[in-house]
Structure 1
């Protein structure tokens, strides 16, 4: 079976770095990266710098791309922004509605190309959004549309630090597979969905879990008049791992099983940096702002219409301890805010924020991957990126699955309809 990959929302190439590191024959045939509202497309330029800028690299709004022109692939990958997936009030005509929401571009790409496998990444709150009224609707919508297209799916929320990586970054990974794959048939022959998840999950090859799950529950995706009815009424509490097989959903809470080395900030930060702008005491009032933002507080605040309320939040370690993995890095990492890491420089003991190269290491990119773009953009693109090493771990599971697959050709329309129904 060929191992062609197409990458949507490619950023600076985290999926590609992770899969390329396996050296197992993955061939990237297409990548799309577009940063809305940006005059300079720094992420795309970085991707092109490392992987070559040819006709298979697209710097066009994915919403404007004719999905049928994307090359055939066996694996579609992408990390897409978490948005509102409702179609109920969008003037939608079936699933084609609300084109501004990026999930539908992934959906349209899947329908146009019908890859054998799909691997997606998103923030973990996707499982519970949009909130109490329709808890889990957005993730349910993704599963519902994948089923309509003729796919089964698994998901897992992974905290990278729990498997030895240097950042406590929690993200949900969704692995989907066509119903005509040998892998789907293997799951079809499992005793039940829990057995399929425990014994045959793509994630377990390199990211093992304890065999006991907690908070197990099940539901079904059928019984809805159409996708708008689903959007209006579906609600379900998804746990941090689960599987969809045909209409059935099984979910539970897993515990990681890992006994390897835990990489900490101390392992990845430089002994010393000479950039004076990184040291917080070099700017008057900067330390005091950090101390306030990271400190515990309970304050009376007033809304624009005069309503008074108390705002409270707990304190954070200041500076960040070097003997633990880093916290989740955001796009605002370089600015003065509560989420920015502040560490004591190893050589001088002076407090400073992380250097760009240290942020690259938090995401397990090669050193100086983003060199050449403005410093603020280096932080921004790393905050948007993913832990490349995790993709490599998941990729080991996909490699094993593909090794057991017969050759799968691109599907003809009549076969697509057969799989869907």
Structure 2
């Protein structure tokens, strides 16, 4: 069977591409990476250095006409978590539009306008997507599911914490796969018992096995009108919880969602396993003069603080493990991980030479990137850390991609 043709949007430094290409079954035919808030397109430069310029676009995706994107089978991307409310209803053939600058609608537009619609979608986001916004819990995800149903896709999703499947970082993200109604996989999910698909037969459950808590499952229908979903979803009760649990499927606007638990007894990679031994740069070590500031920031606090306007308030927070435990998977990497300044959230490890911050290579290893993937002239270490704070865990993409290809092959869908 030939390789699956991939379009990678919001590509960053290529985490999706690395994971999919490691399986040997996927070929990226077009990619896009654009950082709106910066003049120098650092991530795009790294992407081009690693994968070449052919088929790569460094233009705002909102300005790329769908006609400029070649046909592909699978759309992948970790798109920004934004406000997905529907802004206007148009009376012409375009149907519904979201707010400008909300990049979910760029995906929607490409799916709508492509004559040969992609058969599969494989997307990633922060897990708060399932419960945002705070005044209408779950609305954003409901808008996405309804719009994908309208476009002819069935969806399965799961919140996966990489560390719970033996990977070196505690990083929780929601992954979802969608299958177009023209595929045999769509018909398979349509004719399956939703709970069986979520727990046993689905792509995500085969890649990352789960067990279930039988009491926790919900089924409901999404309103057929997308504007109505946007305006009225989960508004009945004030401060209602999101109805979306950590696993689920949506077929034809009908949602089944279950709370699942990871089922894994394989090898585990810990923070201590990924450290550079003896090769870390001396500038990563914490100066003794800065140690009290680190200890203060990492420590528990109960104090009175003042706002700029002079208003006094009580502030408290618990302590962080300091230094970070080497016999556990690491905490989640954040975008502010780089730089020398003391911080509550940066990782600090104890080594034989003293306390130090993590190196760019170690941050890459925590996301299962190849060593020095982001090393490029003109890219400072702080920017390399920023990339990893935005990236996904490559091993998750590889496992899901491997099972997805297996499923496509088994039911022999010609690409």
Same fold (TM over 0.5): yes
Contact 2:154/2:189 (8 A) holds in 1: no
Higher strand residue share = 2
Query: Paired residue for 2:407, among 401, 411, 419?
Result: 401
Task: Output aligned runs, 1:321-400, within 5 Å.
Answer: 321-335=325-339, 336-345=342-351, 347-348=352-353, 350-372=354-376, 373-400=379-406
Structure 1 unmatched runs, 5+? 410-421
Question: SS where residue 135 of structure 1 aligns?
Answer: coil
Task: Output aligned runs, 1:2-401, within 5 Å.
Answer: 2=2, 3-23=4-24, 25-54=25-54, 56-87=55-86, 90-91=87-88, 93=90, 94-113=95-114, 114-131=117-134, 133-190=135-192, 192-222=193-223, 226-235=225-234, 236-281=242-287, 284=289, 286-304=290-308, 307-335=311-339, 336-345=342-351, 347-348=352-353, 350-372=354-376, 373-401=379-407
Contact 2:145/2:253 (8 A) holds in 1: no
Question: SS where residue 396 of structure 1 aligns?
Answer: helix
| Structure 1 position 228, deviation (Å) | 2.2
Contact 1:239/1:253 (8 A) holds in 2: yes
Question: SS where residue 217 of structure 1 aligns?
Answer: strand
Q: What is the CA RMSD across the aligned residues, in angstroms?
A: 1.7
**Distance (Å, rounded) in 2 between the aligned partners of 1:266 and 1:169:** 17
Contact 2:349/2:355 (8 A) holds in 1: yes
| Structure 1 position 310, deviation (Å) | 2.1
Closer, same or farther: CA 382–310 of 1 in aligned 2, 3 Å:
same
Closer, same or farther: CA 214–33 of 1 in aligned 2, 3 Å:
farther
Counterpart position of 1:414:
none
Counterpart position of 1:415:
none
| Structure 1 position 305, deviation (Å) | 5.0
**Distance (Å, rounded) in 1 between the aligned partners of 2:176 and 2:157:** 4
**Distance (Å, rounded) in 2 between the aligned partners of 1:210 and 1:196:** 12
**Distance (Å, rounded) in 1 between the aligned partners of 2:249 and 2:257:** 6
Question: SS where residue 391 of structure 1 aligns?
Answer: helix
Aligned pair count reads 397
**Distance (Å, rounded) in 2 between the aligned partners of 1:213 and 1:304:** 50
Counterpart position of 2:238:
none
TM-score by length of 1: 0.90
Alpha-carbon displacement from aligned partner over 1:198-221 (angstroms, at most 9, x marks no partner): 222111222111154452112111
**Distance (Å, rounded) in 2 between the aligned partners of 1:195 and 1:204:** 10
**Distance (Å, rounded) in 2 between the aligned partners of 1:342 and 1:43:** 25
Contact 1:214/1:254 (8 A) holds in 2: no
| Structure 1 position 243, deviation (Å) | 0.6
Question: SS where residue 71 of structure 2 aligns?
Answer: coil
TM-score by length of 2: 0.91
Contact 1:5/1:77 (8 A) holds in 2: yes
Contact 1:204/1:397 (8 A) holds in 2: no
| Structure 1 position 197, deviation (Å) | 1.4
Alpha-carbon displacement from aligned partner over 1:232-260 (angstroms, at most 9, x marks no partner): 11024211111101121011111111011
Structure 2 unmatched runs, 5+? 235-241
**Distance (Å, rounded) in 1 between the aligned partners of 2:291 and 2:338:** 14
**Distance (Å, rounded) in 2 between the aligned partners of 1:352 and 1:327:** 16
